[in-house]
A and B are shown apart, each in its own frame.
Chain A
Amino acid sequence: MNNEPENRRQTAEGGADGIERGGVFEAGNADAGINADTAAKDAGSYSLNDDRRVKVLSPGAMVARRFFRNRIAVAGLVILAFMFLFSFVGGLLTPYTEDQQFYRIEYQYKEYAAVVENDEFRFAAADGQSYTSAIHAQFIRALNSAPAASAAETPASAGAAGIVKPGAVGAGSLTSFTYRDTTYYIYRDGEDFYRVTLGNGTVVGIEYKDIISSSIAGQRLGFDFQYGALLAKATGESAFSVDGVAYALDEDGLVTRDGEEIAFISRYVVNALSPDVFISRAFQEELQESLMLARENGEAEFLFTDEAGETHEYVVRWRPSYANWQVMQETETRTYDTYASPSRAHWLGTDRNGMDMLTRLMYGGRVSLIIGFIVEFISTILGVILGGVAGYFGRWVDNLIMRIVDIFYCIPSMPIIIILGAAMDAMSVDPQVRMIYLMLILGFLGWPGVARLVRGQILSLREQEFMAATEAGGIRVSRRIFRHLIPNVIPQLIVSVSMGIGGTIITESTLSFLGLGVKFPFASWGNIINDVNNTFVLTTYWFIWIPAGTLLLMTVLAFNLVGDGLRDAFDPRMKR
């Protein structure tokens, strides 16, 4: 009974069309009402105006027929079916979860050490003597003011002097300086190696540029040893003895005692960047060789296996701004696999958090579709109830409800949602709760349109005879509205819901795009595209945002196409 008007009209139309166009059924462009196959098969057995030729379809079946004849609408339906499979089934099939992060091992050159070629004098005080940095400063000044000619004095004369013999005060000295009433004499013992003595020839300290470092951790090198070793190095000798012990010195600056390695002399200072790194002798030696190469090529690489047996690659590079050599160690770092390109493991790559893009898209589709449906559900329920009541009762009820509708129509919804979103940000609402709020807000702002639609339809429907019949039948009011009036509005409602879901998905994704809608860790097509705010992503990583945008566009388009097709199918009057 409730479907009477619709039913009658469509049946009549179907029948009429069928008879008129009986001859062109095989051509496949039958307009309504008759199953072409049946008609073609049965055409022979019934006379032309036999009623049995006309197969009467239910209104629903006719709508379906009209809908499925509309190719574009069917395309929309197919897309929708795909989207649902993709989002809901795809999420089950994918081996990853929504917020599973992936790592990759990256080889990075990390700064390991810095090498400086020492070009400043360092000093060491002799045992029991005081040779302070103030004296060191005086030494530098005296050396700089010393005549250039004498600085270039042949090392032979001074160098051959070896251990100082007592003699004339200051004899053979390069120059001298006085500090705190004490006169110090400087002797040049070799290239960049000076000995500072008192007037009586007592060695107070030495000044040197080559640096001697112990090969054995914890071993302290005495002054005499240092002096002896450095002197040997400066004068180019290959052996020396300190306190009666013989030491050998090779060309690389390695000091050995009976073949055992004691110390190492080098012009380079190697500073480890991290305090827990001990620069071993072997490493320094290795480094020294590379430095020679690096001097020629500007850069050198070498492999070194440390005591723990780990082999790393090292790169030595000259850094002009620091005036030092930078030693970089190649290390393995485990990082989030961000913005990985599409591969077999990740068909659409990974996003900025190292999560699988395809999986995120599937879960994002779920979120977008579910939000679309729930929001439309809320606003449709509200709209149907209020619109139905307004339309049925009329008068002041109608007036009141319609003014409320006017008010809600006038509320600028997008700014309001943005403000609420920002407020939820400020209150740091939990992402899940936030999603629920979002749905409620969108649903609550969306009902006035539905209410207007329902009211308009009901205003005309309630004047029809079948409503008089329900009144005569004594059916109670709520049943009259919701059982007899509303079902007649359902076609329009379905169309409005279908288009409304599309609109809601756009609104939701726009909000998520602005960072005010669905929040991480939940995925939504909008917040996936949000990454394009980073211009580098926009230009470089198409796989981050193009697929999400395309899915979004296709889904909304499909909802609109289906809605459009349904509208045509429900309302064939628009067809000529």
Chain B
Amino acid sequence: MRKYILKRILLSIVIFFFVMLIVYALMRCLPTSYIESIARQKSQQPGSKSYEEWMAQLSAMYNMDKGILAGYLGWLGDFFRGNFGDSWYYTVPVIDKFNETVWLSFVMGLIAFFFELIIAIPLGVIAATKQYSRADYAISVIALAGISLPTFFFASLLKLLFSVKLGWFDLFGLVGRSYSQLSPWGQLLDKGHHLVLPVVTLVVVSIGSLMRYTRTNMLEVLNADYIRTARAKGLSEKKVIYHHAFRNTLIPLVTIIGGSLPGLFSGALITETLYSIPGIGYTSYHAMVGGDIPFSMFYLAFLAILTLLGNLISDILYAVVDPRVRIA
């Protein structure tokens, strides 16, 4: 087991290396007018160095003066030493901006994930146990509709209905107008109030796949021989489904849930941008569109690590939860 985990971690590191190499190469191919504009800006300050000197210094700082591979190794070295550089767009150290925003995204993701679980799993189980019933069709269509719903359209509909027509929520932002005058408790409530629509959007848009996954796995389990045995023994249907079938459905569910936990940190790029929630997704969207290479590189590396971590967790969990799986 330990050997397996070690092997997976090593493989993940290799994958990370190549993923970031591709990303870095892409970033280097972009027109980097940003460095030039910063250099121009700095060279115009009184008593400053010339534009060329600034350009050389900044290029060296961001490893832009070397070839792609050497520059990449330089970036990688900095990254692992915890030196993430300064964000060009936000003009603060990348790590500061990251710490400032990532927790909001995490909280939002966690709330959404919680609702997703408590809605999707029961519905998936119901759909599977009553296959081809009306409930099953309804749930399947709802799940597919959720998958098919473009986030931005759904968010616009929610805004029109709840913000404009009913006036229950604000259209944008995390805090209301009178935020600074509120008590700490009131501020928390205000934030919570502003998170309602984004969380609803996230839940509805991402609920479908988990629901379908639950249904498929539950169906598979229900077709298994041991369920037939359980029925043949004369167990009550309730016991068959919730004791024998559901527990076995949990195996794939736990692995997929464990695997998606790191993803909670990655932020909801589109949803956060639509609602102007200053989480990591919104922050990096603006950094990326603004050509902020240090921040974008950091964010992409962060995402890659989260993905790899998620895969690793789900693989390990799969081995842990299901004793039938013997690791080669």
B152 within 8 A of A: yes
For the complex, give the distance between the alpha carbons of A524 and B144 in Å: 23
Query: Is there contact, CB below 8 Å, between A410 and B160?
Result: no
Query: Is there contact, CB below 8 Å, between A412 and B304?
Result: yes
Q: Mark A386-413, 1 if CB is under 8 A from B, else 0.
A: 0000000000000000010011011110
For the complex, give the distance between the alpha carbons of A545 and B26 in Å: 34
Partner of B160 from A416, A509, A510, A538 at Cβ < 8 Å: A538
Closest 5 CB pairs of A and B: A549-B153, A556-B148, A412-B303, A557-B148, A423-B30
Partner of B23 from A403, A416, A418, A552 at Cβ < 8 Å: A416
18 further interface pairs, Cβ-Cβ under 8 Å (given A72-B137, A416-B23) = A72-B141, A410-B307, A411-B304, A412-B300, A412-B303, A415-B269, A502-B147, A509-B152, A514-B270, A535-B171, A538-B159, A539-B164, A545-B153, A553-B149, A557-B144, A559-B148, A560-B144, A574-B219
Query: Is there contact, CB below 8 Å, between A419 and B296?
Result: yes
Partner of B19 from A410, A502, A510, A560 at Cβ < 8 Å: A410
For the complex, give the distance between the alpha carbons of A305 and B300 in Å: 69
B50 within 8 A of A: no
Contact A545 B164, CB 8 Å, known A415-B288, A557-B144, A560-B144: no
User: A residues within 8 A CB of B148?
Assistant: 502, 506, 553, 556-557, 559-560
Query: Is there contact, CB below 8 Å, between A549 and B150?
Result: yes
Partner of B150 from A412, A416, A510 at Cβ < 8 Å: A510
Query: Is there contact, CB below 8 Å, between B26 and A410?
Result: no
Total A residues in contact with B, Cβ cutoff 8 Å: 44
Query: Is there contact, CB below 8 Å, between B22 and A411?
Result: yes
A156 within 8 A of B: no
B283 within 8 A of A: no
User: A residues within 8 A CB of B226?
Assistant: none
Query: Is there contact, CB below 8 Å, between A416 and B26?
Result: yes
Total B residues in contact with A, Cβ cutoff 8 Å: 51
Query: Is there contact, CB below 8 Å, between B140 and A72?
Result: yes
B289 within 8 A of A: yes
Q: Which of A72, A516, A560, A564 has the most CB of B within 10 A?
A: A560
User: B residues within 8 A CB of A556?
Assistant: 147-150
B83 within 8 A of A: no
For the complex, give the distance between the alpha carbons of A265 and B62 in Å: 77
User: A residues within 8 A CB of B153?
Assistant: 529, 545, 549, 552-553
Query: Is there contact, CB below 8 Å, between A419 and B26?
Result: yes
Q: Separation in Å of the B45 CB from the closest CB of chain A? A: 25
Q: Separation in Å of the B215 CB from the closest CB of chain A? A: 11
29 contacts between A and B (CB under 8 A): A403-B15, A407-B19, A407-B22, A409-B307, A410-B307, A412-B300, A412-B304, A415-B296, A415-B300, A416-B23, A416-B26, A418-B289, A422-B288, A423-B31, A423-B291, A426-B31, A506-B150, A510-B150, A516-B289, A526-B152, A529-B156, A535-B171, A538-B160, A538-B164, A549-B150, A549-B153, A560-B148, A564-B140, A576-B223
Q: Separation in Å of the A507 CB from the closest CB of chain B? A: 9
Query: Is there contact, CB below 8 Å, between A557 and B137?
Result: no
A435 within 8 A of B: no
Partner of B147 from A516, A535, A545, A560 at Cβ < 8 Å: A560
A414 within 8 A of B: yes
Which chain B residues in 159-203 approach chain A with CB under 8 Å? 159-160, 164, 171
Q: Which of A406, A414, A552, A561 has the most CB of B within 10 A?
A: A406
Query: Is there contact, CB below 8 Å, between A564 and B144?
Result: yes
A420 within 8 A of B: yes
Q: Separation in Å of the B79 CB from the closest CB of chain A? A: 16
Query: Is there contact, CB below 8 Å, between A411 and B150?
Result: no
Query: Is there contact, CB below 8 Å, between A415 and B164?
Result: no
For the complex, give the distance between the alpha carbons of A502 and B11 in Å: 33
User: B residues within 8 A CB of A423?
Assistant: 30-31, 291
A211 within 8 A of B: no
Which chain A residues in 474-526 approach chain B with CB under 8 Å? 502, 506, 509-510, 513-514, 516, 526
User: A residues within 8 A CB of B23?
Assistant: 411, 416
Query: Is there contact, CB below 8 Å, between B273 and A426?
Result: no
Query: Is there contact, CB below 8 Å, between B15 and A410?
Result: yes
Query: Is there contact, CB below 8 Å, between B288 and A529?
Result: no
Which chain A residues in 259-281 approach chain B with CB under 8 Å? none
Q: Mark B1-43, 1 if CB is under 8 A from A, else 0.
A: 0000000000100111011001100110011010000000000
Who on chain A is nearest to B223 by CB?
A576
A-B interface pairs (CB < 8 A), number: 123
Query: Is there contact, CB below 8 Å, between B144 and A561?
Result: yes
Who on chain B is nearest to A422 by CB?
B289
B299 within 8 A of A: yes
Contact A422 B150, CB 8 Å, known A407-B15, A574-B219: no
Contact A407 B150, CB 8 Å, known A415-B288, A415-B296, A553-B145: no
Q: Mark A115-130, 1 if CB is under 8 A from B, else 0.
A: 0000000000000000
User: B residues within 8 A CB of A152?
Assistant: none
Query: Is there contact, CB below 8 Å, between A510 and B304?
Result: no
Q: Mark B306-328, 1 if CB is under 8 A from A, else 0.
A: 01100000000000000000000
Q: Separation in Å of the A545 CB from the closest CB of chain B? A: 6
For the complex, give the distance between the alpha carbons of A506 and B31 in Å: 28
Query: Is there contact, CB below 8 Å, between B131 and A576?
Result: yes
B151 within 8 A of A: yes
Query: Is there contact, CB below 8 Å, between B156 and A410?
Result: no
Q: Which of A410, A502, A509, A549 has the most CB of B within 10 A?
A: A410
User: B residues within 8 A CB of A564?
Assistant: 140, 144
B157 within 8 A of A: yes
Q: Separation in Å of the A506 CB from the closest CB of chain B? A: 5
For the complex, give the distance between the alpha carbons of A529 and B222 in Å: 44
For the complex, give the distance between the alpha carbons of A96 and B14 in Å: 55
A532 within 8 A of B: yes
Contact A415 B299, CB 8 Å, known A506-B148, A510-B152, A553-B153: yes
For the complex, give the distance between the alpha carbons of A88 and B194 in Å: 42
Who on chain B is nearest to A560 by CB?
B144
Partner of A509 from B14, B145, B150, B171 at Cβ < 8 Å: B150
Contact A529 B152, CB 8 Å, known A414-B269, A426-B31: yes
Who on chain A is nearest to B131 by CB?
A576
Who on chain B is nearest to A417 by CB?
B288
A427 within 8 A of B: yes
User: A residues within 8 A CB of B145?
Assistant: 553, 557
Q: Mark A530-552, 1 if CB is under 8 A from B, else 0.
A: 00100100110010010001001
User: B residues within 8 A CB of A427?
Assistant: 31
Partner of B152 from A418, A420, A513, A559 at Cβ < 8 Å: A513
Which chain B residues in 109-167 approach chain A with CB under 8 Å? 131, 137, 140-141, 144-145, 147-153, 156-157, 159-160, 164
User: A residues within 8 A CB of B103?
Assistant: none
Contact A514 B144, CB 8 Å, known A412-B303, A422-B288, A509-B150: no
For the complex, give the distance between the alpha carbons of A229 and B68 in Å: 90
Q: Separation in Å of the A403 CB from the closest CB of chain B? A: 7
User: A residues within 8 A CB of B222?
Assistant: 576
Contact A545 B156, CB 8 Å, known A410-B19, A419-B30, A553-B145: yes
B213 within 8 A of A: no
User: B residues within 8 A CB of A559?
Assistant: 148
Query: Is there contact, CB below 8 Å, between B18 and A407?
Result: yes
For the complex, give the distance between the alpha carbons of A532 and B141 in Å: 27
Partner of A514 from B11, B18, B273 at Cβ < 8 Å: B273
For the complex, give the distance between the alpha carbons of A514 and B145 in Å: 22
Query: Is there contact, CB below 8 Å, between B156 and A549?
Result: yes
Query: Is there contact, CB below 8 Å, between A410 and B308?
Result: yes
For the complex, give the distance between the alpha carbons of A414 and B307 in Å: 13
Who on chain A is nearest to B212 by CB?
A564
User: A residues within 8 A CB of B273?
Assistant: 514
Query: Is there contact, CB below 8 Å, between A416 and B157?
Result: no
Q: Mark B49-69, 1 if CB is under 8 A from A, else 0.
A: 000000000000000000000
Query: Is there contact, CB below 8 Å, between A419 and B288?
Result: yes
For the complex, give the distance between the alpha carbons of A529 and B308 in Å: 35
Partner of B156 from A406, A416, A532, A557 at Cβ < 8 Å: A532
